[in-house]
């Protein structure tokens, strides 16, 4: 081992809202990682955040990026993800960006080009594939397969979001697709490959954001995904992955996977159970830290192609619904 194999990864956080708090809480469960500082548009918010979770509040974004941190976690609203990612990469920092990485494919291409040119690690923070249950499921199906996956069906929907939440603001790139539908897009891409065709039905609210979207897509391996996301209905929250030799149910809140059932065509049933520890964001963060220490610039699990294929699905769905963000 060289010295870098054990070094502590020092994180700076951009943003001080709810997702930043969840990240800071989870970071305490990541060995060899620490919160070094934070910046938010409101100085008092950054100060309160650091008082609660540690680190030093930065007087400005430039000050945070000039400090001796190793990596930036971007925890702001969707519309500013690309802007802050580009600034952090230009400052030579590795970036873990909360999903969605960007608003659309064009922005993502710009971000990935900047990461490649800078030679820095960039990863979209998509948590499900790093949970112990999800990795356990992948390993089990490798050893005892059900065949080529032909169908992915999943949904995430909640009708309990307050009316004044930013998810209803078109100017902040709100809507169900980028807030929670990106999870389902990940599941489809992860098991079926890139979508070749996406058909979308949905509802657009009075503020112009998508309140509900249902996507049927055909994928690179010939499989089909049936996914939905919504802000005006309450969904069950499980996922189905089906193949000729059996099917998998990832039980409720599949995006925080803790329990799955595999039913084989020969009648066997396998139950998988892997309780969540540390809030969930710690798993993706630990993986990111391992990549950074080893000098990698891309995750082999949450790849840049995953990010491209996911945002392409939401691009197609928004186009079908007529949802456009500022500047598009």
* Structural domain includes residue 293: no
Rg over alpha carbons for the chain, rounded to the nearest Å, is 20
**Coil, helix or strand at residue 25:** helix
Q: What CA–CA distances, in Å, run from 143 to 139, 140, 146, 193, 263?
A: 6, 5, 10, 21, 15
Q: pLDDT tens digit string along 217-275?
A: 999 999 999 999 999 998 899 999 999 999 999 999 999 999 999 999 999 999 999 99
Q: pLDDT tens digit string along 36-46?
A: 999 999 999 99
Taking the model in full, what pTM does it have? 0.95
Residues 156 and 263 reside in one and the same domain: yes
Q: Identify the domain boundary among 126, 159, 187.
A: 126
**What integer pLDDT is reported at residue 327 of this predicted model?**
74
* Structural domain includes residue 328: no
How far is 305 from 284, CA to CA, in rounded Å?
17
Mean pLDDT of the chain: 96
Residues 232 and 178 reside in one and the same domain: yes
**What integer pLDDT is reported at residue 219 of this predicted model?**
98
99, pLDDT greater than 50: yes
**Residue 3 CA, distance from chain mean position:** 30
* Structural domain includes residue 194: yes
Helix (H) or strand (E) holding 151, with range, is strand 151-157
Q: Identify the domain boundary among 91, 109, 126.
A: 126
Residues 149 and 229 reside in one and the same domain: yes
* Structural domain includes residue 327: no
Strands 259-264 and 246-250: antiparallel
CATH of the domain at 152: 3.30.360.10
Q: Identify the domain boundary among 69, 99, 126.
A: 126
Residues 133 and 276 reside in one and the same domain: yes
* Structural domain includes residue 241: yes
* Structural domain includes residue 90: yes
Residues 254 and 162 reside in one and the same domain: yes
Provide the percentage of residues in the chain whose pLDDT is more than 90: 92
Residues 246 and 313 reside in one and the same domain: yes
**What integer pLDDT is reported at residue 1 of this predicted model?**
29
Collect all residues with Cβ–Cβ distance below 8 Å to 78 and sequence separation of at least 6.
Answer: 100, 103, 172, 173, 174, 178, 179
Strands 195-204 and 210-219: antiparallel
How far is 258 from 275, CA to CA, in rounded Å?
5
310, pLDDT greater than 80: yes
Bridge partners of residue 225, in order along the sequence: 152, 217
Residues 13 and 84 reside in one and the same domain: yes
- The range of the structural domain enclosing residue 113 comes to 3-126
Helix (H) or strand (E) holding 198, with range, is strand 195-204
How far is 101 from 107, CA to CA, in rounded Å?
9
Residues 101 and 179 reside in one and the same domain: no
Residues 105 and 147 reside in one and the same domain: no
For residue 266, give the nearest of 126, 146, 135 by alpha carbon.
Answer: 146
CATH of the domain at 62: 3.40.50.720
Conformation bin of residue 237: beta by default, left when phi > 0, alpha when psi is -120 to 50 = left
Residues 228 and 138 reside in one and the same domain: yes
Residues 121 and 162 reside in one and the same domain: no
How far is 138 from 131, CA to CA, in rounded Å?
11
* Structural domain includes residue 78: yes
Residues 116 and 139 reside in one and the same domain: no
Number of domains in the chain: 2
**What integer pLDDT is reported at residue 284 of this predicted model?**
99
């Amino acid at each position: 081992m060289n010295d870098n194999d054990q070094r502590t990864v020092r994180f700076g956080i951009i943003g001080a809202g709810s997702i930043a708090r969840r990240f800071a809480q989870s970071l305490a469960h990541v060995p060899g990682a620490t919160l070094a500082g934070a910046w938010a548009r409101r100085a008092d918010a950054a100060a309160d955040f650091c008082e609660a979770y540690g680190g030093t509040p930065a007087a400005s974004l430039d000050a945070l990026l000039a400090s001796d941190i190793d990596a930036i976690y971007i925890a702001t609203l969707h519309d500013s993800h690309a802007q802050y990612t580009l600034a952090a990469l230009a400052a030579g920092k590795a970036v873990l960006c909360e999903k969605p990485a960007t608003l659309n494919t064009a922005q993502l291409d710009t971000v990935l080009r900047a990461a490649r040119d800078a030679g820095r690690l960039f990863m979209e923070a998509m948590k499900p594939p790093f949970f112990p249950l999800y990795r356990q499921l992948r390993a089990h199906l490798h050893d005892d397969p059900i065949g080529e996956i032909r169908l992915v069906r999943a949904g995430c929907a909640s009708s309990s979001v307050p009316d004044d939440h930013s998810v209803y603001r078109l100017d902040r790139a709100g809507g169900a697709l980028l807030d929670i539908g990106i999870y389902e897009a990940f599941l489809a891409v992860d098991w079926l490959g890139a979508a070749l065709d996406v058909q979308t039905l949905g509802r657009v609210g009075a503020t112009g954001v998508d309140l509900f979207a249902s996507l049927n897509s055909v994928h690179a391996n010939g499989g089909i995904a049936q996914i939905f996301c919504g802000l005006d209905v309450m969904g069950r929250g499980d996922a189905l992955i089906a193949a000729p030799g059996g099917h998998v149910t990832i039980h409720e809140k599949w995006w925080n996977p803790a329990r799955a059932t595999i039913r084989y065509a020969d009648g066997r049933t396998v139950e998988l159970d892997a309780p969540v520890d540390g809030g969930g964001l710690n798993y993706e963060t630990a993986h990111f830290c391992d990549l950074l220490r080893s000098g990698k610039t891309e995750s082999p699990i949450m790849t840049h192609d995953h990010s491209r294929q996911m945002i392409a699905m939401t691009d197609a769905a928004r186009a079908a619904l007529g949802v456009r963000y500022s500047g598009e």
